[in-house]
């Protein structure tokens, strides 16, 4: 597993790097935004710890560029709590956010939870020979593939996990909190609207209705569920 740490506070960068190394990651540390995008292309990281305030390109732009070629798990570091709301509103594509100062142990706990948890859908998918169909949409939870009208759809890790969670129980309406527990883990504390942002990205990639959703339906007053199962 490869990790990329992008942080211009060098001591913090080294500290986070050593925690990740201790946990078995092969770590690359860079200190500015331009190097971050280049390193992202070169090492194809599984996890990116990305500071918001960076020289060169800021964290928002780095995340946007990373997302054009990477489905890495991105944790963005911010200096203030209120920045998180703004970032969620901007849909920059990070999977999680942490506000400084934070404990590196807490960061590691989140990264570990993400990588140690069995992937949603794995057991059910095995029983179903891998694939579930929802009209023109096929979700292969075991292979982590999604197809729309026969063409593959490139989803980020978080988008895929949300879709696989919904697809695993197609008749169930999930609350945002239930989706957070399934995808980010029960210890995640933050804004539930992060779910809405990722659902928004997911719908866009599935050419789904941005408001109601054919594949990922809005259940008013509750949250989300899969659309018609076939």
Q: Which residue is nearest to Ca ion (CB)?
A: 53
Comparing CB distances to Ca ion, the nearer of 62 and 195 is: 62
- Tell me the closest approach of the beta carbon of residue 89 to Ca ion, in angstroms: 21
- Tell me the closest approach of the beta carbon of residue 24 to Ca ion, in angstroms: 26
Comparing CB distances to Ca ion, the nearer of 57 and 179 is: 57
Determine the Cα–Cα distance for residues 101 and 184; give it in Å rounded to an integer.
21
The two tokens of residue 44 are: 């194809």
- Tell me the closest approach of the beta carbon of residue 171 to Ca ion, in angstroms: 46
Determine the Cα–Cα distance for residues 7 and 52; give it in Å rounded to an integer.
8
Q: What are phi and psi of 28, to 5 degrees?
A: -120, 130
Determine the Cα–Cα distance for residues 102 and 199; give it in Å rounded to an integer.
28
List residues near Ca ion by CB under 5 A: 8, 51, 53
- Tell me the closest approach of the beta carbon of residue 120 to Ca ion, in angstroms: 33
Q: What is the DSSP string of 147-176?
A: EETTEE----HHHHHHHHHHHHSTTPPEEH
Comparing CB distances to Ca ion, the nearer of 83 and 191 is: 83
Helix-, strand-, coil-residue percentages of the chain, each rounded to 5: 40, 20, 35
Whether 169 and 162 have beta carbons less than 8 Å apart is answered as no
- Tell me the closest approach of the beta carbon of residue 15 to Ca ion, in angstroms: 14
Comparing CB distances to Ca ion, the nearer of 51 and 71 is: 51
Comparing CB distances to Ca ion, the nearer of 53 and 170 is: 53
Whether 34 and 51 have beta carbons less than 8 Å apart is answered as no
């Amino acid at each position: 597993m490869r990790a990329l740490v992008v942080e211009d506070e060098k001591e913090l960068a080294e500290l986070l790097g050593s925690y990740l190394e201790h946990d078995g990651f092969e770590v690359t540390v860079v200190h500015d935004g331009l190097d971050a995008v280049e390193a992202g292309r070169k090492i194809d990281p599984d996890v990116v710890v990305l500071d918001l305030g960076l020289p060169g390109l800021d964290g928002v732009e780095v995340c946007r560029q990373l997302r054009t070629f990477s489905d890495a798990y991105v944790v963005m570091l911010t200096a203030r709590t209120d920045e998180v709301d703004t970032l969620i509103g901007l849909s920059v594509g990070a999977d999680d956010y942490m506000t400084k100062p934070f404990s590196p142990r807490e960061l590691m706990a989140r990264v570990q939870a993400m990588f140690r948890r069995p992937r949603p859908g794995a057991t059910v998918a095995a029983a179903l020979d891998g694939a579930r169909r929802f009209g023109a949409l096929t979700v292969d939870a075991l292979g982590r593939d999604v197809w729309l009208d026969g063409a593959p759809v490139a989803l980020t890790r978080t988008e895929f996990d949300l879709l696989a969670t919904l697809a695993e129980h197609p008749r169930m309406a999930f609350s945002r909190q239930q989706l957070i527990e399934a995808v980010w883990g029960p210890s995640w504390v933050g804004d539930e609207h992060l779910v809405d942002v990722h659902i928004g990205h997911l719908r866009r990639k599935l050419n789904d209705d941005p408001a109601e959703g054919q594949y990922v339906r809005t259940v008013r007053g509750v949250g989300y569920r899969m659309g018609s199962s076939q």
